[in-house]
């Protein structure tokens, strides 16, 4: 076995090997098999040694698999507040001995798929794009988010903005309104113009109120918030001196729904098939793992539980999406891009049900909500019997409620809210849950279609919230919700470099729908 190959294998496993240990593998005829056995044992160890020595090789191989401490189950017990979901290891799928996959018997093959689309714009878009449509959109947004805030015991008695003229100077009141305007004064104070259907009023936050100023920094235009304030009257219209700001947020405590059967969902996004940066080898490795052809015993057991493959947009790279994109395309025809993607997805085992939502690189309208991929462009995909849904979409999968959203509005949130960045992909998702809206800012980078109903309101509470777009893997729990961004299968493009994006390709989160936990496997 080549010396360089051995060294690279151990480097991939984040361990070093001494020259004397390296000689052992080079001199033996079964050196390649020994390397794979040792790497498998290392993955099963709780405390992986940083350096592999000659003595350590002997001890590990003589000890036998049964005597080595097995990694604890990556069960998560997330607290009510947001924290990162961690797994016991950063797992990497490796090749298994030849013909082993022929003995692979996935337990998910014996379970019937259960997918119900709860909400999706596909087939329900009636907007003509006129002023009346925009009025209906924002009224619907306000009404539904107003109802959510009023479910809080402290905001049940919130008053209409138009009734403020009836209150005396110094009265303490609560209102719920849409943020029509937000600006910072020359003195460093923050002024919010909020409105409902009865009127509009100015709400002031003074710079000396540090905690309140922190909250004010997270307020974005066009979102619905609750305000506790003191009425100030003088010449002209009354104004509010803000004492507190609240968002609709997710109620707590809450117990997430769980599947009755041991099934998992593999969550992916942003393949960008057609780009010369698409990591086809890594994706093929993922497909081989789904078929039980690679991975250690624990990983292959997990693969056997995968019943669903859920894709959150950008299946292909598209054409003309960003400047000079054509220079980085391997396939320049959008139809052929989908044909190539279909050839890959056709390798997914038959017992796994595929769900596909579009993203901003796909062949659908750019404004959100987006309908499902059209059959005239992606006819071959429909032949796979995949469940094609819009962006966003709500699904019930084995009794577990999924909210799937590609994530274009991350661009607006990251540019607007202090503390958010492109290096961590789940904090913007948590902000969406707190605001109970997927794209609250109108007029930014995210085009919003004026439908009669605001499909971007998070009126219900999901058990799993799955996004993409950021090209950075992330996973955390927020008030019982699995919040996961599935990363990408695309390397860094020139456009990403200009944006400062550092992708984490080839990382696939596997959501256990019965245990409500996530494991992560690396394929790149």
Q: What is the pLDDT of residues 197-250, one digit of tens each?
A: 999 999 999 998 999 999 999 999 999 999 999 999 877 788 999 999 999 999
Q: What is the pLDDT of residue 216?
A: 97
Distances from the Cα of 236 to the Cαs of 40, 191, 233, in angstroms?
76, 17, 8
More confident residue, 408 or 44: 408
Last residue of a domain, one of 220, 246, 272: 246
Q: What is the pLDDT of residue 53?
A: 82
Q: What is the pLDDT of residue 296?
A: 92
Q: Which pLDDT band holds residue 181 (cuts at 50, 70, 90)? A: very high
Round to whole Å and give the CA distance between 224 and 81.
22
Last residue of a domain, one of 191, 219, 246: 246
Of the candidates 200, 248, 257, 233, the one whose C-alpha atom is nearest the C-alpha of residue 395 is 257
Q: Which residues, in sequence order, are bridge partners of residue 308?
A: 265, 353
Output the DSSP codes for 341-398: HHHHHTTS-TTSEEEEE--TTSSS-SSBSBPPPPTTTSHHHHTTT-EE--BSEEEEET
Whether the pLDDT of residue 83 is over 60: the answer is: no
| 438 contacts 455 by C-beta, under 8 angstroms | no
Distances from the Cα of 402 to the Cαs of 78, 271, 342, 429, 465, in angstroms?
18, 20, 24, 14, 6
Q: Could you tell me if 217 and 294 lie in one domain?
A: no
CATH number for position 177: 2.40.50.140
Q: How far is CA 240 from the centre of its chain?
A: 38
Residue in the structure block whose two tokens are 């901003």: 360
Q: What is the pLDDT of residue 462?
A: 98
CATH number for position 500: 3.60.21.50
Q: Which pLDDT band holds residue 5 (cuts at 50, 70, 90)? A: confident
What are the helix and strand counts (H, E) for the chain? 13, 21
Q: Could you tell me if 312 and 282 lie in one domain?
A: yes
Distances from the Cα of 507 to the Cαs of 42, 51, 485, 486, in angstroms?
20, 25, 10, 7
Q: Could you tell me if 237 and 286 lie in one domain?
A: no
Q: What is the pLDDT of residue 289?
A: 97
- Cα-flanking dihedrals φ and ψ of residue 345, to 5°? -70, -20
Round to whole Å and give the CA distance between 304 and 308.
11
Q: Could you tell me if 357 and 449 lie in one domain?
A: yes
Q: How many CA atoms lie within 13 A of 412 on its CB side?
A: 22
Q: What is the pLDDT of residue 47?
A: 55
Distances from the Cα of 183 to the Cαs of 189, 219, 415, in angstroms?
9, 11, 15
Q: Which pLDDT band holds residue 45 (cuts at 50, 70, 90)? A: low
Q: How many CA atoms lie within 13 A of 135 on its CB side?
A: 4
* 16 assigned to some structural domain: yes
Q: Look at 27-41, 93-107, 223-237, 261-275 and tell me which has the smallest mean pLDDT.
A: 93-107
Q: Could you tell me if 376 and 442 lie in one domain?
A: yes
Domain total for the chain? 3
Structure tokens at 299: 């990983």
Distances from the Cα of 462 to the Cαs of 74, 261, 267, 399, 483, in angstroms?
22, 19, 15, 11, 10
Query: What's the average model confidence in pLDDT over 85-97?
Result: 51
Whether the pLDDT of residue 78 is over 50: the answer is: no
Structure tokens at 214: 């922190």
Q: Could you tell me if 291 and 227 lie in one domain?
A: no
Distances from the Cα of 395 to the Cαs of 119, 289, 436, 487, in angstroms?
7, 26, 17, 21
389-399 per-residue burial string, b: 16 or more CB within 10 A, e: under 16: bbbbbbbebbe
Which value, in Å, is the radius of gyration of the alpha carbons in the chain? 26
Helix boundaries (H) for 170-256: 210-217
Which segment, 129-133, 382-386, 515-519, is predicted with the most confidence on average? 515-519
* 135 assigned to some structural domain: no
Helix boundaries (H) for 83-151: 131-150
Residue in the structure block whose two tokens are 């219209």: 237
Q: Could you tell me if 204 and 313 lie in one domain?
A: no
Q: Which pLDDT band holds residue 471 (cuts at 50, 70, 90)? A: very high
Q: Which pLDDT band holds residue 51 (cuts at 50, 70, 90)? A: confident
pLDDT per residue as tens digits for the range 320-355: 998 889 999 999 999 999 999 999 999 999 999 999
pLDDT per residue as tens digits for the range 472-482: 999 999 999 99
Kindly compute the dihedral angle of the four CA atoms of residues 125, 311, 301, 112, in this order, to the nearest 10 degrees. 20
Last residue of a domain, one of 67, 95, 123: 67
* Three-state DSSP state, 251: coil
Q: What is the pLDDT of residue 236?
A: 76
Q: Could you tell me if 292 and 434 lie in one domain?
A: yes
Q: What DSSP state is assigned to residue 433?
A: H
Whether the pLDDT of residue 415 is over 70: the answer is: yes
Q: What is the pLDDT of residue 75?
A: 31
Q: What is the pLDDT of residue 3?
A: 72
Round to whole Å and give the CA distance between 389 and 482.
20
Range of the domain at 454: 83-103+263-522
* 348 assigned to some structural domain: yes
Q: Look at 31-40, 67-76, 176-185, 495-504 and tell me which has the smallest mean pLDDT.
A: 67-76
* 383 assigned to some structural domain: yes
* 482 assigned to some structural domain: yes
pLDDT per residue as tens digits for the range 423-467: 999 999 999 999 999 999 999 999 999 999 999 999 999 999 999
Q: Could you tell me if 411 and 482 lie in one domain?
A: yes
| 35 contacts 1 by C-beta, under 8 angstroms | yes
Q: Could you tell me if 377 and 517 lie in one domain?
A: yes
Q: What is the pLDDT of residue 69?
A: 31
Q: What is the pLDDT of residue 67?
A: 31
Q: Which pLDDT band holds residue 18 (cuts at 50, 70, 90)? A: confident
Round to whole Å and give the CA distance between 486 and 355.
14
* 88 assigned to some structural domain: yes
Whether the pLDDT of residue 499 is over 80: the answer is: yes
Q: Which pLDDT band holds residue 22 (cuts at 50, 70, 90)? A: confident
Q: What is the pLDDT of residue 159?
A: 96
Q: What is the pLDDT of residue 455?
A: 97
Query: What's the average model confidence in pLDDT over 165-182?
Result: 95
Round to whole Å and give the CA distance between 304 and 104.
8
CATH number for position 31: 1.10.8
Structure tokens at 193: 């113009």
| 259 contacts 513 by C-beta, under 8 angstroms | yes
Q: What is the pLDDT of residue 349?
A: 96
Whether the pLDDT of residue 12 is over 70: the answer is: no
pLDDT per residue as tens digits for the range 262-317: 999 999 999 999 999 999 999 999 999 999 999 999 999 999 999 999 999 999 99
User: Which secondary-structure segment (H or E) carries 190?
Assistant: strand 190-196
Instruction: Write down the mean pLDDT value for the chain.
Output: 88
* 314 assigned to some structural domain: yes
Whether the pLDDT of residue 90 is over 80: the answer is: no
Q: Which pLDDT band holds residue 89 (cuts at 50, 70, 90)? A: very low
Q: Could you tell me if 273 and 398 lie in one domain?
A: yes
Structure tokens at 347: 């390798």
Query: What's the average model confidence in pLDDT over 147-157?
Result: 95
pTM score, two decimals? Answer: 0.82
Q: Could you tell me if 171 and 304 lie in one domain?
A: no
* 196 assigned to some structural domain: yes
Whether the pLDDT of residue 43 is over 90: the answer is: no
Round to whole Å and give the CA distance between 404 and 265.
13
Round to whole Å and give the CA distance between 89 and 338.
34
């Amino acid at each position: 076995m080549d010396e360089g190959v051995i060294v690279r294998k151990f480097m991939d496993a984040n361990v070093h090997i001494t020259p004397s240990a390296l000689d052992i593998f080079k001199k033996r005829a079964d050196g390649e098999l020994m390397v794979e056995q040792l790497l498998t044992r290392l993955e099963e160890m709780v405390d992986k040694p940083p350096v592999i020595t000659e003595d350590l090789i002997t001890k590990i191989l003589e000890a036998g698999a049964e005597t080595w401490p097995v990694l604890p189950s990556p069960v998560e017990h997330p607290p009510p507040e947001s924290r990162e979901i961690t797994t016991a290891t950063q797992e990497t799928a490796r090749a298994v001995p030849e013909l082993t996959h022929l003995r692979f018997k996935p337990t998910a093959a014996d379970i019937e798929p259960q997918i119900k689309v709860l909400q999706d714009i596909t087939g329900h878009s009636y907007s003509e794009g006129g002023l009346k449509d925009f009025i209906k959109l924002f009224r619907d947004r306000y009404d539904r988010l107003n109802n959510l805030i009023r479910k809080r015991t402290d905001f049940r008695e919130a008053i209409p903005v138009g009734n403020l003229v009836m209150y005396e100077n110094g009265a303490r009141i609560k209102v719920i309104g849409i943020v029509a305007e937000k600006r910072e004064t020359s003195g460093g104070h923050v002024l919010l113009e909020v409105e409902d259907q009865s009127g509009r009023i100015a709400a002031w936050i003074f710079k000396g109120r540090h905690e309140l100023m922190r909250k004010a920094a997270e307020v974005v235009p066009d979102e619905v918030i609750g305000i506790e304030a003191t009425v100030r009257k003088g010449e002209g219209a009354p104004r509010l001196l803000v004492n507190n700001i609240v968002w609709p947020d997710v109620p707590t405590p809450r117990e997430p729904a769980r599947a009755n059967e041991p099934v998992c969902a593999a969550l992916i996004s942003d393949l960008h098939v057609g780009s010369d940066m698409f990591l086809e080898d890594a994706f093929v490795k993922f497909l081989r793992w789904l078929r039980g052809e690679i991975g250690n015993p624990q990983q292959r057991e997990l693969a056997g539980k995968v019943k669903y493959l859920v894709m959150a947009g950008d299946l292909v790279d598209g054409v003309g999406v960003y400047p000079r994109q054509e220079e980085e395309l391997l396939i320049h025809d959008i139809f052929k891009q989908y044909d190539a993607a279909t050839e890959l997805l056709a390798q997914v085992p038959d017992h796994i049900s595929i769900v596909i939502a579009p993203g901003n690189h796909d062949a659908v309208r750019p404004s959100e909500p987006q309908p499902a991929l059209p059959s005239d462009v992606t006819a071959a995909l429909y032949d796979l019997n995949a469940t094609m849904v819009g962006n966003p979409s709500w699904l019930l999968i084995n009794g577990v409620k999924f909210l799937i959203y590609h994530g274009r509005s991350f661009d607006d949130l990251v540019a607007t809210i202090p503390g958010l960045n492109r290096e961590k992909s789940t904090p913007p998702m948590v902000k969406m849950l707190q605001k109970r809206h997927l794209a609250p800012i109108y007029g930014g980078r995210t085009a919003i279609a004026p439908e009669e109903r605001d499909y971007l309101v998070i009126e219900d509470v999901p058990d799993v919230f799955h996004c993409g777009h950021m090209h950075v893997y992330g996973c955390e729990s927020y008030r019982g919700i699995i919040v996961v961004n599935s990363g990408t299968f695309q390397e860094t493009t020139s456009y990403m470099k200009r944006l400062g994006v550092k992708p984490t390709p080839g990382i696939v989160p596997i959501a256990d729908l019965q245990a409500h936990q996530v494991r992560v496997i690396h394929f790149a």
